[in-house]
Amino acid sequence: MYEYSKPALFSTEQVAQYHQNGYVVARGLIDAETALHWKETLQARLTQEGNLAIPSGVRVWMADDMDDYTQTQVCSDRITAALQQLIGPRVEFLSVKAVFKNGQTNFA
């Protein structure tokens, strides 16, 4: 297994959970202000594309079609370090997926 040399973002148990279940909750990976700005950026793009109300609630963009803010976030040192701890040193982004509620939903 890859030995991560920076301060660990996940415990050994969380990494094991990721490998067993395919996911891990990364509390505090991004701050609330960044999350809100990112949400607003994606919401504006979905609105512009006419995709805010698609039934699936999922929109995927290939790596070469990401907006600048999303690319900055997914390629940030913090996100990259978290992924390296989980999957090893070779992180490659092929796409990014936004998962959202239908635009008609009126609750948080």
Q: What is the pLDDT along the chain (108 residues), one digit of tens a residue?
A: 445 456 789 999 999 999 999 999 999 999 999 999 999 999 899 999 988 777 778 889 999 999 999 999 999 999 999 999 999 999 998 999 988 876 566 555
The whole domain housing 24 covers 12-99
Asked whether residue 105 is assigned to any structural domain, the reply reads no
Q: Six-digit token pair at 72? A: 């900055």
What's the pTM value of the predicted model, to 2 decimals?
A: 0.75
HSE-up (13 A, CA, CB side) for residue 28: 2
Could you tell me if residue 85 is inside a domain?
yes
Q: Does a structural domain hold residue 104?
A: no
- Residue 2 falls within a domain, yes or no? no
Indicate whether 3 belongs to any domain. no
How many domains, in total, are found in the chain?
A: 1
**Closest-CA residue to 96 (of 50, 86, 68):** 68
* Residue 6 lies inside a defined structural domain of this protein: no
Residue 36 tokens, joined: 């809100």
The answer as to whether 1 is a domain residue is no
Q: Is 64 part of any domain?
A: yes
Q: pLDDT value at position 41?
A: 94
pLDDT at 8: 83
Q: Which helix (H) or strand (E) holds 54?
A: none
